[in-house]
Every structure is written in structure tokens, then in C-alpha cells.
Structure 1
Amino acid sequence: MNHEEFKLPLGQKASLVSLVCDKFESHSTVLETNNSLRELRELLKTLGLIDGEEYVQNRKHLDPATMLGEGKLSEIADAAREEGSSVLVFDFELTASQVRNIKAITKMEVVDRNTVILEIFAHHARTKEAKIQIEISRLQYLLPRLTAMWGHFSKQRASGAAIGGEGEQQLELDRRMVRERIEFYKKQLDEVQKSREQQRKKRQNQAVTAALVGYTNAGKSSLMNRLCKVNVLEENKLFATLDSTFRTLNPDSKPPMIMIDTVGFISNLPNTLIQGFKTTLESALEADLLVITCDISDPNYQKHLRVTQEVLKELKIEEKQQIIVFNKKDLLNDPVRARIIMRNYPNSFLVSSYDEEDMKNLREYIINFFLSKQDHYDLFVPYEAGEAHSRIRGNANIINSVSHEQGIFYRIRIPDFIFQQLGLNNFILAPSEAKDWENPTSI
């Protein structure tokens, strides 16, 4: 068995299948189901599948074997084939037995929403760590579904004896192979994460960071490009980027101010992907400021904000200082919504990443936020302490400097954790002394 056979047939047409049932989370109303299907279409677009018609059944109870009724599934399969679809994509998770049962009824390729998300992650991961974690997630998702693949093998029996047939024997071999691959990748991941942790600690000691976080396709990469004046991939797709990207926000400040663009959040994430998803978000753990980005033009912006806060809580960073940036105001055709949001979130920003004035104001706010967190120090450094002068000029923001006969007075602004690394404590002046050295006429 090659688990590549479980990959989706990209470029083919896929019909979307869902249901409305008041006992089914995220599909309890017509509105919830429609919103979920709209998001599924965007996921298919990102993956490269051609989305076809939607088929929805209203049900009072879920069918544990097939979710939808058998008759409805046959009807959907006939209509899907008529429109040229070769794949049925269900807008919720299916168990291995459900996939097998639905395939038997429809005689079509069957995948669920989780498979689509897993495939997107597999196609869009760029860093070694993300690729390994996502491969682990895909294999873990595949493992219980191997039976569905081998369901077409009949179990061979000899004279009624319980002797496993070809399919049964191959299935056990495949399970063992998948488990071995999972363990292999987990060992690789441990090594990569140790290296990344060292890099993270190094950044923490040398820079201050702001992390762009929020629901997928909220425009984080666009904000990154405008704020940092760089060229990070930006597409109108869900999960256009998966790996955290680091860029300098303000090269003139000391220490450097770093902006981090993180993977977008999404609701109903597959359980097998949750750990991998958190791993790619761990860069947000080191951030001094969370810039929560929300697409104000999306009708579901409130749900997106709620999902974002839930993920931050799971990461145990919801108490970090944060600001909310409502992006894509240029796509908002409802001025009333804008006024309501600014009243409900008075300290937030309403911006378009394409508006230069908006980006200037947001950038200044973030820079000033970091500067306001820095400590002030008054120093007097003798001329002969040459190395100390170099450390000050290379690591601190100099507010004022005055040359004297014996040395130089500095008034600097710098984060305390960096100042403590510079070995300058012996040059600190008391407030009364600082006034004298700052004014050369009083010396």
C-alpha cells in the first residue's frame, strides 16, 4: 500500500454534500450549513479542485452508517455524475466505516472536509518542521481508514476455517508500515524542534516581536507586506501560507522590531491536525504583542474572532497584550457595520492594507507600543571605556548624548532584558547626577 493513493484527484470536479440537523454542531441551521459550505468552496479552490453543485439534506436524526439517507445518497450520486463530478466532498468528518458505506452506495470517490484540509496543509507547507508535522497528521488520519481502502478485498476462507485472506494480511502489513512511518517522523520532528527552540531563544534575547494572528484569509500576509515593506506571498485563498514568516518591522529601532506572520486559524480543525497546527503557531508564544487580524468584509467576522480567541486560549497566550485590526475595509459595503464595530471595539483599527495612511498609522502605533515598553537609563561612560561606547551605540536608542572632558553622557531607551546583557550597570547615573552631566554648563 502506498498512502499516496489516498491523495485527492486534483483538477477534477467535486460535488459538495452537507446536511441540516439541529443535533449536529455547525450544521444545526440552514445558515450555519450555508456558511460552512461557502468556506468549503474556498478550501477546494485553495486545493485546486473544481467545485460543483451543492446537495443538502434536512434531517431530524443523523444516520450513524451514512450520515445522510441511502436514498438521498443515490440521488446525489446520479446528479453529481450528470454534472460531470467524480468526487463527493462531505462538509464534515466521516468515519472509516461511513466512507466505506457511502462508497458502496454511490460508486464514487468519497472524501470529507478533514481530508481536504489535510491535503491543503500537505501542499502548502514549506519549512521542514511543518512538512514533518503535517505528514504525521496525515498518517494518523489515514491509519483508521485503511480498512476502507481494503474493503474491496474479500476475506478468503478455507473450508470455513478462520484464515485471513489476502486483503486482511495486507491490511495488517499496511497498518504496521504506517505506524513505523509515524514513529520515524516523530523522531525527526523532535530534532527539528530542538533546533527551532534554540533559534527562538536567540530571537527573544535580541529582538521584540509582534505576531499577526487571526482566521485564515483575513489578510495577514498583505498587512505584513505593507507594514514591513517586503514581498510575502499573498493570495485570496484559505491557507495560502502555512509557515510562520519573520520580517523586520523597523530597521532603525534598537533592538530590531520583528513582525511574525502566522498560519491562519479555522473552525472544526481535524483532531489529527490540532497538534501540528499548534506547532506552527508556537512562534506566537514569543510575541510581545498579538495583532489580531479580522476580515471585516466577511459576514462571519464575529465567529472568526471567537475562533481566534479560542485558539489563543488553547495556546495559553490569551493574556498577552493585543490589538484588533479589522482589515479589508475597502471590501466592506456596509458602513453601519463599520460604525458598530468601532463602537464595540473602541481601541481597534479599521484598515485597508492598500491604504497608505492606514498602514502608516498602524505601523507607528506598533513601533510606539514597543518604544513605550522600553526603560530609560542615564549613563556616563569615560572615553577609555571604548567597548562600552560601542555597545551603547549598537544596541540602544540614544535620546541624548553630551560630550564632556572625561567622557560622554548618554540618555538611552532600551528594553531592560537587553540592557542587562550589555554589562553597563557600572555607568548608571543617579537622577541628581544625570541633571549635572546632561547640562555641561553646570559641570
Structure 2
Amino acid sequence: MDEIHGNTAGLKSRVVEELKELYEIKLSPQEFVSGELLAGMARGTEATGREISVFLSRSGRVLDVSVGTDKSVKLPYMRVRRGAAGVSGIRAVHTHPGGSPMLSDVDVGSLISSRFDAMAAVSVKDGKATAMCVGFIGDALGETKITGPFRPGRIPQQALMHEIAVATERVQRLVRMHETEDAPEKAVLVGLNAPRQSMEELARLAETAGAEVVGSLTQNRDRDRAYYIGKGKAQELSLQMSAMDADIAIVNDELSPLETRNLEETLGVKVVDRTMLILDIFAAHARTREGRLQVELAQLQYTLPRLAGEGVSLSRLGGGIGTRGPGEKKIEIDRRRIRRRIFELQQELGKVAEQRELRRAARRENDVKEVALVGYTNAGKSSLLNALTNAGVRAEDKLFATLDPVTRRVGLPDVGETVFTDTVGFIEKLPHDLVSAFRSTLEEVTRADLLLLVTDASSPDADGQMEVVRGLLSSLHANETPAIVVMNKMDRLGEVPEAGKDTVYISAKTGEGLETLLSLVTEKLAPRLMTYRGTLGYDRGDLLALVNRDGKDISMDYRPDGVYVEAMLPLETIKKLKN
């Protein structure tokens, strides 16, 4: 049974039945639109006060009839029927109640994004069609060719059908050319109660993931647990995305499975939340085996509760022989496989963590100090590590350009050999699954002797970013570790503020301030020296070596019972000598 789709609430049954009669109208192959169809659509618009849309096939059959509002109509298959190799083979005709026959921006966007054969707008006044304009895709995929307006009795039927044939060849050629290019996805950003800085950061994340941001929408309201921004706003966004020819919606929060499903059904495009976006960036940038394992674990932990499929009906049991479904539905098999893979990944990462702990133990045994560079993503941690140690780490002006931790050794006066480790960048709303998966890497922060809190001094939200970093350090129980606040990118500041206690302004790019930073690091790490006096046996050459390595102002007197030593030594060394 042919149905009337769209905004049918409140319509009288008589009006609905009259609209259903439009399905019975059949056009000839050389007829763009018939007077009978226009008259029926005009009567429907007059009776409802709403837009009426009709989809027509190449053969002239009515495929769909939908009702919109007094200003727009949401065509249910508009985005789904987009042609893969050319135009869709469908032309859309819709009415404008009491309005102009000119195509709106939404009409043009829908024509382009769905690659319709044609998009026609019909003005209706006093229950009659008065004029019609028709749009075709032009000489480029983002351009259109508009003809008209035409009076209902003077529509050039064969000329319009010929234009469809010409447009089909043109679009097929353009699509073949377009597919040879690696065109980015066009993204619209969606936020709820989101400040400007948060949406700007989301835009940078989208660009890092390879998307082209073509629009943004924010809504100030309580969160709708079904549609995130509310059903009405979602429908409004759908029309905007059609006008902008957008391929994907990127949401500034983590969505529930229900919110994701409802938004995708309403918008007709892929919906990606902030967590999925960050996971995608991590997957693209992970280089080492450990990094890939951690990202895969985080992705699976995120995916597991969001599994959806058509397996539900397969698992229901019938009432007799031959009616029983399989014992386990496909979705449960998928869940079981994911759980098994999560277990395997955790085991592998556990072995990696053991190896990392062995390296840490060796450093502690040799009294090697550890310095961890932490901070907001793109604050310049990798650039700073390169400047301090010539590490050769890839450093780009992108979010999460570097994921895998890099450790390099530096010799500091009065401290000795010291390792500097570049860690994963932090960000607002860092996914919980990601923190969990990268815990072994983030332990570098918890075990460090000193933290360098690297901050982008040129960012207008530097204080907010530092707040995020301190909050994450607190969750890792590393907020008590001694720290130096490193205000990077001072070369971008017009005037450099006066540095406070344990704060230093630097430029990793120009090298300015690095000597001051290293002096402060040395001051923080240099051991407190105390006077030691004692006798060491001649058989304890290892202890004498410790004195010579760590001591200052050393005086030795060789006596019959051993070597009498007087020196300024670190407290840890004195403990070893006494033991």
C-alpha cells in the first residue's frame, strides 16, 4: 500500500486519501511533469497549508509522496538515494505554498548532495500551481543550472527531459574525475552548551582527522536523551546539511547508542561523536606496536556497548519444530569475539608494561632521574623534546601529531644522566577508554621525578587547558609530583609576562629560554648534599667508586684499617655507604 510520508499529523483522512491518489498518476517517458500531477499537488498544498513533494522515476512513475511544513519538506529518501556513478535517476518536484517558484538554498543543496535528475519548485496560490522553476547539476558538482519560471500550461516537457539526459552524461563525467581525487569528507560540527573555544578545538580535531568543516551548529538547552539537541533542531539541521552538501555530523560530546541511531536516521548521514573522532585520530597516528595495541583496545572497549545489528529476530524461539532460531544471535557472537580480543590485547599490553617496568627499575638502580613532559595536545611537547635532546621526533602544528612516548637521555651538571620522556597529549573530554588503554604509557607520568607542564602561552584558553591537564594528573595520582610550568611559544607573544615561581617562558622553536629551563630542572633534580665522614674497607671498591661519582669536595686518607673518607654526598649515597 502506497503511504504518505512526512508531517501528516493533524491531516484529515479525506486529504490523506486524495494525496494517495497522486501515486496513480502515470507520466509518459517524454513528460517532465503533467498538469494533472501539478493540480493534485496544488490542491494538497491548499488543503494542508504545507509543502507537498513527489519523487518521479525516469519512466514517469510516482515513487513517493511526502508532506512537509509551510516552509520546507523533509524528503525521506533524499540523501539515501544518492547516485554512486551519476545522477540518481529520480527527479523531485515540490510545492511552495503562497511563495516563489525559485529554488531555495536547501533545494539546491539537496539537488547536489543527492544527485537528483532535477529539482523542481512549484509556487501555489489559491489552490492552483502558478509557476515552476527547475534546477539541474551544472558543469561542476557544486554548481547548478536553473531554468524557468514556466507557467503550468507552457512547460517545455521534451526540452526538460533532454536536459536530464545531458545532465546525466555531465555528472557521470564529473563523478569519474572527482573519484580520482582524494576529496575530504564535508563535516558539520554540532555542540550542546559548548563555549567557542571548545567548538574551535572540535574543528581542529575534525581537520586533523582529514575532514573539511563546512558548518557549525550549537544549541543551548538541557540534553535530549533521545536526539541530543532535540528532535526539532535535528530536523532543522538535516535541511542545513542538505544545503551544505555535508557528508558527516561531528558531535562535541560522547553520544549514547540511542542518540547516535536517532540522529543518523534524522540527518541521513554518518554521525561521529567526539570520542570516536579522537580514537580515529589516535588510530591514524599510532606508529609503534604498543601504540597500535593501545588504540585497538580503546576502540573495542568503546564499540562493545554500542554493537547493534539485525540479530535480534534470529534469536527468538518459535513454537514448534522448524521455527526455532539459532541458539546464539550474530550480535552475541560479535560481542564474544570482541571480549576475547580485548582479553588478548590486555595480556599483550601487560607484557609490554612488564618490559617497561624492567627498564624503569634499571634506571632507578643507576639513580637515573626521570623527567616527563606533559601538557595539552599541540602545546609543543615534541618540539621541546627535540630542542632539548635532538630527539628527531615528528612535530607538527596538529592535535595529537605524536602519540607514542619517546625517551631520550641528557647529561645535566650536578645531576648526571637524566631521561626526558614525551608523553601523550591531554585534551578536554579525553575518552575514558583511551585513558584506560594508555594507562601503562601514562605511568611514565606517575613514576617521574619531575614534570614539565608544557602550555601554549599564545593560546587564549591557556588557563583552561592547564586546568584540564591538572585534572587529568590528579586522576592519575600524579598531582603531588614536583613540577615546572613551561610556557611555550613565547615567540608568538607581543609582550612576555613576568614568570612566577616554578614557571619559565620559552620558545622551543627559537631556543629562547631553554638555558633557564635546564637550570631550573637541574635545581629541582640536584640532590641535597650532606657531609659524610667514615672509613671504607679496601675490599669495597664499589663504595669508593660511588663516592668518586656522586661526591664533592672529596678528601681521602689511606689508613691501616681502610680509607677514611670526608665528602659532600647526596643523602641516598650516604644511606648506601652506611648500609
Deviation at 1:358, TM superposition (A): 0.7
Say which of 505, 514, 530 aligns to 1:359.
514
The match for 2:526 is 371
Instruction: Name the amino acid aligned to 1:313.
Output: S
Match in the other structure for 1:187: 347
* Distance (Å, rounded) in 2 between the aligned partners of 1:156 and 1:325: 59
Counterpart in 2 of 1:136? 297
Equivalent residue, structure 2, for 1:201: 361
> How far did 1:375 drift?
4.7
Query: Partners in 2 of 1:349 and 1:260 — Cα distance?
Result: 19
Match of 2:331 in 1: 171
Residue of 32, 37, 53 corresponding to 2:199: 37
Post-superposition CA distance 1:371-402 (Å, at most 9, x none): 25355546777888655554544x42x53456
1:83-162 pair list within 5 angstroms: 83-147=244-308, 150=309, 155=313
Q: Which has the larger radius of gyration?
A: 2
Per mean C-alpha deviation after superposition, the further-off stretch among 61-70 and 287-296 is: 61-70
**Residue 503 of structure 2 is aligned to residue 348 of structure 1:** yes
Match of 2:552, as an amino acid? I
| Whole-angstrom CA distance in 1 between matches of 2:207 and 2:260 | 23
What is the aligned-residue RMSD (CA, Å)?
A: 3.3
**8 Å contact 2:504–2:516 — kept in the other structure?**
no
Match of 2:477 among 297, 304, 316: 316
Provide the rounded CA distance (Å) in 1 between the counterparts of 2:558 and 2:376: 59
Q: Following TM superposition, by how much is the alpha carbon of 1:231 offset from its aligned partner in structure 2, in angstroms? A: 2.0
Cα deviation per residue 1:97-148 (whole Å; 9 max; x = unaligned)? 211111112221111110011122222234443332322211011012211x
Query: What is the 5 A alignment of 1:205-354?
Result: 205-206=365-366, 207-250=368-411, 255-333=416-494, 335=495, 338-339=496-497, 342=499, 345-354=500-509
Aligned to 1:12: 184
* Partner residue in 2 for 1:46: 208
Q: For the Cα contact (< 8 Å) 2:250–2:274, is it kept in 1?
A: yes
Could you state the TM-score of these two structures normalised by the residue count of structure 2? 0.60
How far, CA to CA, are the matches of 1:238 and 1:411 in structure 2? 54
Question: Closer, same or farther in 2 for the Cα pair 1:420/1:94, shift >3 Å?
Answer: same
Residues 129 and 193, structure 1, Cα contact 8 Å, conserved in 2: no
**Which structure is higher in helix share?**
1
- Partner of 1:356, secondary structure, is coil
Paired residues of 1:211 and 1:262 also in contact (CA < 8 A): yes
1:45/1:412 Cα in 2 relative to 1: closer, same or farther (>3 Å)? farther
Instruction: Mark the runs of 5 or more structure 2 residues left unpaired by the alignment.
Output: 1-181
Q: Is the 8 A contact 1:133 1:189 kept in 2?
A: yes
The superposition leaves residues 190-247 of structure 1 with CA deviations (integer Å, 9 ceiling, x where unpaired) of: 2222222222222222201222111111111112122223322211111122232211
Does the 8 A contact of 1:209 with 1:259 survive in 2? yes
Confirm or deny: 8 A CA contact 2:317 2:324 kept in the other structure. no
Cα distance in 2 for partners of 1:358, 1:46 equals 30
For 2:517, give the aligned amino acid: L
Q: Which has the higher contact order (CA 8 A, sep 6+)?
A: 1
Q: How many pairs does the alignment contain?
A: 392
Query: Percent identity of the aligned residues?
Result: 30
- Distance in 2 (CA, whole Å) between partners of 1:414 and 1:45 is 54
What code does the residue aligned with 2:334 have? D
Distance 1:236 1:413 in 2: 47
TM-score, normalized by length of structure 1?
0.77
When structure 1 is superposed on structure 2, of 365-374 and 267-276 the one drifting more is 365-374
Per-residue CA distance 1:300-331 (angstroms, 9 max, x = gap) = 11111111111121121212211211111111
Partner of 2:552: 399
- How far, CA to CA, are the matches of 2:455 and 2:502 in structure 1? 14
Task: Report which of the two has the higher share of strand.
Answer: 2
